[in-house]
Structure 1
Amino acid sequence: MKNTDVPILRCRSNPGSTTSWIVTLVLGLLVCSARFISSTEVNGTHCVRPYDTPPCDCKVGWYGDKCTENCSSTCSSGYGCNKTTGKCVSCKAGYHSFNCTLKCPPNCLNESGQPAACDKDTAHCTNCQPTWWGSKCTNKCDSNCKNGVCDFVNGHCHECEVGRTGENCSEECPSDCWRRLCHRDNKTCTGGCTPGYFGETCDKKCGGNCKEVECTVNGTTDASSKSMCARCTGTGQCHSCKSGYWGDICDKLCPEQCTECAQNNGTCGSGSGGGSSSSSDRITGHREGEIAGSVTAVILLVVVAAFVIYLVKRTRGCNSLLGRCRGRRQSEVDENVMKNLAQSSGDNTVEV
């Protein structure tokens, strides 16, 4: 007999028949118990209200008209599945598909030790492991990306490895950038230039007469020592010149009498670097020569003056009209004059 065919007994008040009232009560209890047992067998024990007419409202984790089907174990706990189709509302981390039975792609990002996460229906990763990119993280980041890391959507490098530039770090920095460091967008050198070059991209050579400088600091050649290595400024002006040259780009020769001269004006003896001692020796010798010449000139003047005075004194005893001296012949006078002149010159000779 179906539960719908169980007669509904109505209790009637019949104060004159106590026995009848008790019989009616017992029969009612029996009918209600039969209905409960019958409905449980029909709907199963996972209905929220087992005695409801099918389909009943299922408890979380169950589905079907009678709530007898179990939702997939990889459906998110707490959400269960559709009560009619069994489709998971959402999946546990690391799974996707209709009933969450397929694993997410292996390179999807997993956080805090949890399985990789992806979209339930498309399997697209919500993010990728650092060195992978693409909707399902199947593409490897370029090796020129710093540490191999790139944007997981388009694969563009966040930063480039040293010596690389460009949108995807596929180009090289200018070869004469210091330690190959350059700006990613415009290739300008960010760490200065290698010795002997200048300019924004270090594509210009310093003058050939710029002096080479020590390129190490405490035995190293790291970036902090680049200013010590530069031969010229960013505009091409030499920091110092090689011996024998001066000027902003060291294109002018020092005066002949010196091998070192000041870079700003060419003055002798004011240059920097070796060779200053030879320049000083040359200048000293030049001054000694000037002094010797001056002494010789003074001596000659003294000799001439003495000769003139002598002639004046001797001619006072001679007849100017006859051309003869008293008591002497002209030849004797001339002979004596020559002797005195020779003696005077010998006495005043100065050794230089």
Structure 2
Amino acid sequence: MTGMVLLVCCGWTVLLCLSVQAYENIALHKPAWQSSTGLSGGIRLGAERAVDGLYKDLDGNGEECAVSHGGQTAEWRVDLGGARNIHHIVIHFETGKEVWDCPSPGYYGKNCSKECPQNCQDGYCYSVEGTCLDCKPGYIGPRCNQECPDGFYGKNCVKNCSLTCVVPGRCDRVTGRCLGGCQAGWTGDTCEKECLDRQYGYDCAGNCSLTCGDSGKCDKITGHCKGGCRTGWTGDMCDKECSAGVFGKDCAENCSMTCGDPGVCDKVTGHCNRSCLAGWEGDMCQNA
């Protein structure tokens, strides 16, 4: 959560107002304190006015700012209730006086004439030297002009590209998406997901053979069937029917030479496709 703070000065008087532009006001209505308190028309302009959410009238007598009394310096505090991340702070003088900081985010330098570096997070940079308050994902350095080194990506370049990218450790410096796809057996933008059952290969684009012994299950990288092949099929991926003359599990058995058409049988069952030779009988012509 982030907030924006406005400091307003009137002579030796310091006025502090809190403003929020597209960020949560984390100081709103929080306990506040200041080293001294000024008056306007007899009204105390205490520290709590800096966190009341009102900041349209920055005039010294506008009663919307906290005002200190006398001296060149003043101290103001707010209790945010714990450690918080403050994204942006803007400091102003009183309305009509010199501006301490650039009035519009995204600029820096003399007369606020220079644009902040393009890779600053949300376009914010320090108003004097132009160094970024934070960097967009994929960039590092004071001015966020350095891309993440090879193998790293994301905010502050602290995340490692996946080693399951098709080129291990090579990914988009902003998103971490693998360039060129995934290694065999993996899928997803960052190649963090293993192939589902019955899928294999690069980006899991291959389907395991339905003739695998354990129907449709195979090695997620190679596609080789697990548990061998269904009867009548052979090969690492069980994609080859038994050749003529053999049948059964892994095509390991020979068709009977006593089939009516010797050596020719059903590739799954081994049954002779025609009648048996004279003197033989049975499905496989095995009985004399």
- When normalised by structure 2's length, the TM-score is 0.37
Looking at CA atoms only, which structure, 1 or 2, has the larger radius of gyration? 1
The answer to which structure, 1 or 2, has the higher relative contact order (CA under 8 A, 6+ apart) is: 2
Q: Which has the higher helix share?
A: 1
Q: Which has the higher strand share?
A: 2
- When normalised by structure 1's length, the TM-score is 0.32
